[in-house]
Amino acid sequence: MFDKFLNKIEDNEKNQLGLDFDGVIHKNSKGFHNGTIYDEPIEGAIESIKYLNEHLGYNLVIYSCKANPGRPLIKGKNGIELIWDWLEKYNIKDNVKDVTYIKPNALVYIDDKGMKFNNWDECINNIKTLNESM
Q: What is the pLDDT of residues 33-86, one digit of tens each?
A: 888 999 999 999 999 999 999 999 999 999 999 999 999 999 999 999 999 999
Domain, as residue range, for 99: 2-133
The distance from CA 121 to its chain's CA centroid, rounded to whole angstroms, is: 27
CATH number at residue 59: 3.40.50
Helices (H), 28-103: 45-50, 79-89
Q: How many domains does the chain have?
A: 1
> Range with the lowest mean pLDDT among 9-18, 85-94, 119-128?
9-18
| Proportion of the chain above pLDDT 70, given as a percent | 93
pTM metric for this prediction: 0.88
Sign of CA dihedral 115, 117, 123, 126: negative
